Structure 1
């Protein structure tokens, strides 16, 4: 009985390893993207209705669409394995290439998205008149398309990124992905601001938590904060509002804040195509809205100013006492949190 030389056995083993590993990697990538898309859909489904009034809302929808498009492309390439479309030959190598390009694109989007969202909230808060719904939708659509095209063009045209893609193409397995530093800096910044704000208004937060009442207002269940006299409120408006914003924000996003602390503490390396997701963007969105409220404390008037709508955090309870100080007598509390 003849046996192959040791070198041939090693070569055969290596070839088999090379043949089966891409399938395992593609299957794992498919599951990761499928899980991310399900999470995106669930998050978009859980938001409050009629909140598509700002840039961040439309961008979250566009991100969910790009994730779905990437999953479809990966599924088609994995199924056909080797095919030609419009004169371009697609193989399983393009699964890794496309995901790398998307990772770079997502990784460079954090700062631009946050900057545009800040400008959007500032303009919506300061200008007295608003565009019609159709004009506003068209403006956001064009802005998002321009943003995606600009960042994608930068990724494909940047010498550093092109060099990285060529270098990584030498590695068939495992397929390396870009780890964004923008998200880390953004997370550290938000956690730092939350920590400073919590330390600054710790006593007020404890007092509020002990005195919060759950009541109904206009057929909606809200938190009711005890209201001080008008003169006392105006003298300490920013400090009092800060404590209310902290209670509302942490009451909604505390699990996500804890997750960010764990990720940053353990220095978990998350690929950019996973890290940029809809729940993360809504978390940042709530933080930005709270920041806008605090900086514009002197303008908060529910009659003359249209406040930004948050899909998850009900900020209304922070401002209702400004116009209805006797709400506690008008509405019967459902329960009292002690």
Structure 2
């Protein structure tokens, strides 16, 4: 798709503002998980890209000299395309690493010493992930930039790749949630509570339904908008596809999937499950034993 540089600058500005607002909202716990640390680095890189585009585009002569290099609007289009490809290739690695991180939190498999060192570990993994993804895009992928054959001072628009990974991720996670619902609906086994009250029973079905209800109560509208945007003929520009709002949505959705899949119902009822931090969904489960008996 072809987009004017002015629109690229405007959309990047809005994206940066949204990124930092969401980072501020989650500031109390954003460094306690891989996805939070990655969100901060995402906001920093988007800000640097926005400033780069703004400085060059707003120059009347169409270029700036930086460290002896002449940077023009060709470099604006090139950098937007490169970062768009990097963002597109980051979706699945981020999903996998965030899922493993949340799984360790929910199952409490991290030792205390490792948990205390989580922030530097997450920062190291995040930095390595950015480096390896950029390395892949530059040296191993079939990425070829598309640039106009016109003088740099006449460039007013850039060719921008669109991303399809968002729709793929949404479909996979929705299928996972749907499978959890079907499994819970077909299952008749009840999980016994391991607390002192041995007569209390809680079905996996209730855990699944409550987790999905909590998730959809917060993100249903966002999910609908993302699906509509992904199905539009023009698609979502790749440089906008990875942002803190999307990462916050993924955080909640991964928690919902993992709660449905691996978290013991007895731990949820006693409040013993260590749920990953989430500023948007309140993962507090209150169960009615009378309702359970009726089911």
TM-score, normalized by length of structure 2?
0.80
Matched, 1:64 2:30: no
Q: Is the 8 A contact 2:33 2:119 kept in 1?
A: no
Aligned residue pairs total 269
- 2:69 aligned residue: 88
- 1:152 aligned residue: 134
Matches within 5 A, 1:130-141: 130-131=112-113, 135-141=117-123
- 2:293 aligned residue: none
Change (3 A) 1:194 1:298: closer
CA RMSD of aligned residues (A): 3.0
Q: Is the 8 A contact 2:204 2:265 kept in 1?
A: no
Question: CA–CA distance in 2 between the matches of 1:265 and 1:194?
Answer: 21
Instruction: Map Cα deviations across residues 214-252 of structure 1 (whole Å, 9 max, x no partner).
Output: xxxxxxxxxxxxxxx975734xx2211011011100111
- 2:20 aligned residue: 41
Residue 84 of structure 1 deviates from its aligned partner by: 2.7
SS in 2 for 1:96: helix
> Which segments of 5 or more consecutive residues in structure 1 lack a partner in the other structure?
1-21, 203-228, 327-338
Aligned equivalent of 2:216, options 247, 250, 253: 250
SS in 2 for 1:114: helix
- 2:53 aligned residue: 74
Question: CA–CA distance in 1 between the matches of 2:109 and 2:255?
Answer: 16
Question: CA–CA distance in 1 between the matches of 2:121 and 2:141?
Answer: 32
Q: Is the 8 A contact 1:177 1:271 kept in 2?
A: yes
SS in 1 for 2:117: helix
Matched, 1:181 2:149: no
Residue 73 of structure 1 deviates from its aligned partner by: 1.0
Question: CA–CA distance in 2 between the matches of 1:273 and 1:291?
Answer: 27
Change (3 A) 1:150 1:157: same
Question: CA–CA distance in 2 between the matches of 1:298 and 1:266?
Answer: 40
Aligned equivalent of 1:293, options 246, 250, 259: 259
Q: Is the 8 A contact 2:252 2:281 kept in 1?
A: yes
Residue 170 of structure 1 deviates from its aligned partner by: 4.2
Question: CA–CA distance in 2 between the matches of 1:276 and 1:314?
Answer: 24
Aligned equivalent of 2:239, options 273, 280, 283: 273
SS in 2 for 1:118: helix
Runs (4 or more) in structure 1 with deviation over 4 Å come to 169-173, 194-202, 229-232, 302-305
SS in 1 for 2:70: strand
TM-score, normalized by length of structure 1?
0.70
- 1:211 aligned residue: none
> Which segments of 5 or more consecutive residues in structure 2 lack a partner in the other structure?
186-196, 291-295
Choose 176-185 or 122-131, whichever is displaced more: 122-131
Q: Is the 8 A contact 2:5 2:156 kept in 1?
A: no
Matches within 5 A, 1:164-179: 164-165=144-145, 167-170=146-149, 174-179=157-162
Question: CA–CA distance in 2 between the matches of 1:180 and 1:266?
Answer: 12
